[in-house]
Structure 1
Amino acid sequence: MAQAEGTPDVPDMGRRQFMNLLTFGTVTGVALGALYPVVNYFIPPSSGGTGGGVTAKDALGNDIIVSDFVANHNPGERTLAQGLKGDPTYVVIEEDQTLANYGLNAVCTHLGCVVPWK
């Protein structure tokens, strides 16, 4: 078969070069797969949005209105309310007469009973 004039002669890839590329690709893929969890460990998780807050509810299931709640309770006082999934949670009044931005779960991790806080 005659080759056209002016076209470069490009040989096919040999078996040894093909096996080297295949081995290199496999090793690279395995190394990247092993490094992925290590890299993810050092990247902090992103916050899911504006917050996961829920409306606090009193023992009867009614929404707690902050202004009324703060007016009727003293600083440092904690009151049992319904938290996430209806779990008993202590709501705390801060020293500056504001509602704390956290709630303390009152369920014992050992037996699941409600722990009284005195």
Structure 2
Amino acid sequence: MTSLEKPNIAGHMFDVVVIGGGISGLAAAKLLSEYKINVLVLEARDRVGGRTYTVRNEHVKWVDVGGAYVGPTQNRILRLSKELGIETYKVNVNERLVQYVKVSLTFYSYDQFKNILFEK
């Protein structure tokens, strides 16, 4: 079955119906199915992933157009990506990050910006 084909669910009973095939819906369905709960995921688009989507074409290797960043404190999504074999990589390690507030422009290294965002 391709992603565009509709499954034949007539006559099937489901314990849970998850509305939305974004990261939260897929994570919920995964967790429920691990407990042998019969789950159906309904997604309106012709793909799953929700706002997490990477465009690949002949002009660019890839461009993340949503849900592109996972911070170092987002343990649940990092654990889920590891379970699913999704490769993670550091971004902007050697680049300067820019923060624009009203009329001032400030440049930060990655570590400086990370410390500002996630200071305890």
Shorter-chain TM-score range: under 0.3
Compute the TM-score of the two structures, normalised by the length of structure 2.
Answer: 0.16
> Larger Rg: 1 or 2?
1
Q: Which has the higher contact order (CA 8 A, sep 6+)?
A: 2
Structure with more helix by fraction:
1
